[in-house]
Amino acid sequence: METIKVKLKDNPYNIYLEYNLTKRVPFFIEKLNLGNYGIILASQKVYSLYKKLLRGVFKKNYYFLPVIDGERAKSKKWLFKVINEIIKIDKWYRKIFLVCVGGGSITDLGGFVASIYKRGIPYVHIPTTLLCQIDASIGGKTAINLKEAKNILGTFHQPKAVFIDPIFLKTIAKKEIREGITEAIKYGIIKDKSFFYFLKRYHREIISLETSYILKLIFTCAKIKTNIVEEDEKEKKGVRTLLNFGHTFAHALESTYRYRKVSHGEAVAIGMVFAAYLSYFMGKCSFNKVEEIKEIMHLFSLPIRFSFDYLTLYKSINYDKKFISGKIRMVLLKEIGKVEVAEDIPPMVLRECLKKFSRMRPKF
């Protein structure tokens, strides 16, 4: 079993990585002394596929609360639905904690619930999608969406542990695996050039979920994310902002189309191509770097463009939490493995770049 220590001053915890780890989670929870009654917040799809496993593992003093799949879970409706269920279950003699089992929507919602219920209760993650295992479950960011913008209501509330079991990936569709790989590509672009080329070289083995390759991918990504979170837990130093590469555009695209026409992974893939093109447009990198990013997206059958109205998308970007005090802040590419945070991007430049990008043909 691989263990990554998240060394935070006030909220340190461990990330555990191992096949079939789920069966041992109650043992770890008991050692962590989280409480005496656990609520299993599980996505409906995961619960239906792994009901026997989960109920066999989490027996006495656990309550199962299935939640709708996808971004719809990150809504006011489901936030209060979950909280109302917890209130019904909670008793004076129970010390409640949450176990979030699912993808990023479940970990975001569960973490947010844990952060506001009784001003904060403990929780752990069992991420079941690749995207969640390498990104969303690590770092303590929690959030729900409003129709105006993605992740607009949120908190920082660290989990007490993250348990990564790659066994769940066996029932994930290839499309979802590819979308998870978008975040792995992001880590290579922002921090690790050699990892970027590892992904490029072994793309077939990774898509096939060959054990050694997928374990290396998950561990490398989790370690990079951990290092960044340790340095800038609450995104006050600008270091953690690097993780937003491609996400400003992606979140705007998702919210514009109400989280229906494009998935998060697809939006991030397109968003990274746009961020690279904006970087080239502003003279930060060569066009060859844009081409390299396009090429790796092609290798993993990820999209590089999407038809959109550039003015609508520009308006949506203005709602993004990374749009600070009227200033546009985005992460731009310098070279593979190195990016920078650009403050105060001129609105006219962003609009013109969005306009050009929206009109480019698929060959771009």
The residues assigned a catalytic role are 119, 141, 183, 225, 235, 240, 244, 247, 251, 264
Cβ–Cβ < 8 Å for 225, 188:
no
Cα–Cα distance measured from residue 323 to residue 326, given in angstroms and rounded to the nearest whole number: 6
Q: Distances in Å between the alpha carbon of 31 and those of 99, 134, 161? A: 15, 24, 11
| Residue 148 buriedness (CB in 10 A; 0-12 / 13-18 / 19+) | exposed
| DSSP class of 170 | G
Cα–Cα distance measured from residue 364 to residue 357, given in angstroms and rounded to the nearest whole number: 9
Cβ–Cβ < 8 Å for 57, 23:
yes
Cα–Cα distance measured from residue 90 to residue 118, given in angstroms and rounded to the nearest whole number: 11
Cβ–Cβ < 8 Å for 78, 67:
yes
User: For every residue of 28-90, which 3-state class applies, written as one string?
Assistant: HHHHHCCCCEEEEEEEHHHHHHHHHHHHHHCCCCEEEEEECCCHHHCCHHHHHHHHHHHHHHC
Cβ–Cβ < 8 Å for 147, 240:
no
Cα–Cα distance measured from residue 156 to residue 140, given in angstroms and rounded to the nearest whole number: 5
Q: Can you tell me which residue has the tokens 């005496």? A: 36
Q: Can you tell me which residue has the tokens 């989790």? A: 222
Break the chain down into helix, strand, coil percent, rounded to 5.
50, 20, 30
Question: Which residues pair with residue 349 across a beta bridge?
Answer: none
